[in-house]
């Protein structure tokens, strides 16, 4: 998760943070260009990325109340963002007693492309590999997994189970086989290296609304990948020096400190009260 903020990723992060109006009204194109421009993204890159998201069915063209061209989230995109919220803004850690969800799949050889899609999607959901064709994750990921498999029309190939790990190896040892814990820890360390100094700076010398918007969106764009790479395992199964808790605390603090200030900057653009080209 090197600090690479692509235009398309930043647009998704923007809609996740500020672009979900209760009335589902579209974000004006001119406003989106200005708001992404504050993050160093030029207008052609914004338009190109929006076109790709439109082709994927995530953004839908529309008109604002004053007739300006804009883009709103599709139903699928809203569902994806709502599912993501439960991870990105989670405040509680799972308990070992909650158990696990198992995904057991079998895909015919004639449809092996779906096998690859299924594996990659389970990995992106945070599943580890317990055995060939058997993937495992904390039980709290069941609903999102079910939604994702149904949306991608992969559910006919999968059986989902809930259960406990009964042996024979100690669960902490098994978890170290199911997931690459050093790699996940490295992602948390990267996040901390990039954004913990930002938090310290805001605590010592608060800045303006545009700076809050910029720093928050960059932090969110980095953070929202992490709860997918890291399934967030019960604390007793992780090393004592696990950095995940600290990185979650840093993101939560940045969210509480910056989101409202950032909304002050974004609001006039979405309402049409800001000057846009």
Question: 2 falls in which pLDDT band (50, 70, 90)?
Answer: very low
As a whole number of angstroms, the distance between CA 243 and CA 159 comes to 33
State the pTM of this model: 0.85
Tell me the mean pLDDT in the region 228-253: 91
Distance from first CA to last CA of the chain, Å, rounded? 34
Q: How confident is the model at residue 51 (pLDDT cuts 50, 70, 90)?
A: very high
Among the residue ranges 33-42, 162-171, 194-203, the one predicted with the least confidence is 162-171
Residues in the chain: 277
pLDDT average, residue stretch 43-70: 92
Task: Supply the mean pLDDT for the chain.
Answer: 89
Query: pLDDT tens digits, residue range 119-154?
Result: 888 888 889 998 888 999 999 889 888 888 888 888
Q: In the beta sheet, which residues pair with residue 135?
A: 103, 129
Buried residues in 229-265 as b, exposed as e (16+ CB within 10 A): bbbbbbeebbeeebbbeebbebbebbbebbbebbbeb
Q: Say whether pLDDT at 262 is over 70.
A: yes
Average pLDDT over residues 205-225: 95
In this structure, are residues 221 and 164 in contact, taking their beta carbons and an 8 Å threshold? Answer: no
The C-alpha torsion from 246 through 87 and 113 to 10, rounded to 10°, is: -80
Question: Average pLDDT for residues 108-122, to the nearest whole number?
Answer: 83
Interval 66-109: pLDDT, tens: 888 999 999 989 988 988 888 888 777 788 889 999 999 888 78
Region of 153 please: left (phi>0), alpha (psi -120 to 50) or beta: left
Please state, in angstroms and rounded to a whole number, the distance separating the CA atoms of residues 212 and 206. 9
Distance CA 276, CA 23 (A): 22
What is the mean predicted confidence (pLDDT) over 23-29?
Answer: 88
Quick check: 277 pLDDT over 70? no
Residue 250 has pLDDT above 70, yes or no: yes
> How far does Cα 259 stand from its chain's mean position?
16
Q: What is the pLDDT of residue 3?
A: 54
């Amino acid at each position: 998760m090197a600090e690479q903020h692509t235009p398309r990723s930043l647009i998704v992060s923007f809609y996740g943070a500020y672009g979900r109006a209760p009335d589902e009204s579209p974000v004006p194109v001119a406003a989106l260009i200005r708001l992404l421009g504050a993050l160093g993204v030029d207008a052609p890159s914004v338009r190109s990325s929006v076109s790709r998201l439109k082709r994927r069915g995530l953004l839908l063209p529309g008109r604002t109340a004053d007739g300006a061209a804009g883009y709103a989230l599709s139903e699928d995109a809203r569902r994806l963002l709502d599912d993501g919220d439960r991870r990105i803004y989670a405040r509680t850690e799972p308990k070992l007693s909650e158990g696990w969800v198992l995904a057991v799949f079998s895909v015919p050889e004639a449809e092996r492309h779906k096998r690859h899609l299924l594996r990659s999607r389970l990995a992106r959901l945070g599943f580890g590999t317990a055995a060939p064709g058997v993937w495992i994750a904390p039980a709290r990921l069941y609903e999102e997994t079910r939604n994702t498999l149904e949306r991608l029309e992969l559910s006919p190939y999968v059986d989902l189970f809930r259960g406990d790990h009964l042996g024979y190896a100690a669960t902490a040892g098994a978890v170290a086989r199911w997931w690459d814990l050093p790699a996940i820890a490295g992602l948390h360390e990267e996040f901390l290296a990039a954004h913990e100094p930002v938090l310290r700076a805001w605590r010592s010398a608060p800045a303006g609304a545009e700076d809050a918007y910029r720093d928050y969106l960059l932090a969110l764009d980095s953070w929202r990948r992490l709860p997918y790479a890291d399934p967030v395992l019960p604390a007793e199964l992780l090393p004592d020096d696990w950095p995940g808790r600290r990185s979650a605390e840093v993101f939560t603090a940045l969210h509480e400190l910056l989101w409202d200030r950032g909304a002050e900057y974004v609001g006039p653009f979405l309402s049409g009260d800001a000057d846009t080209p």
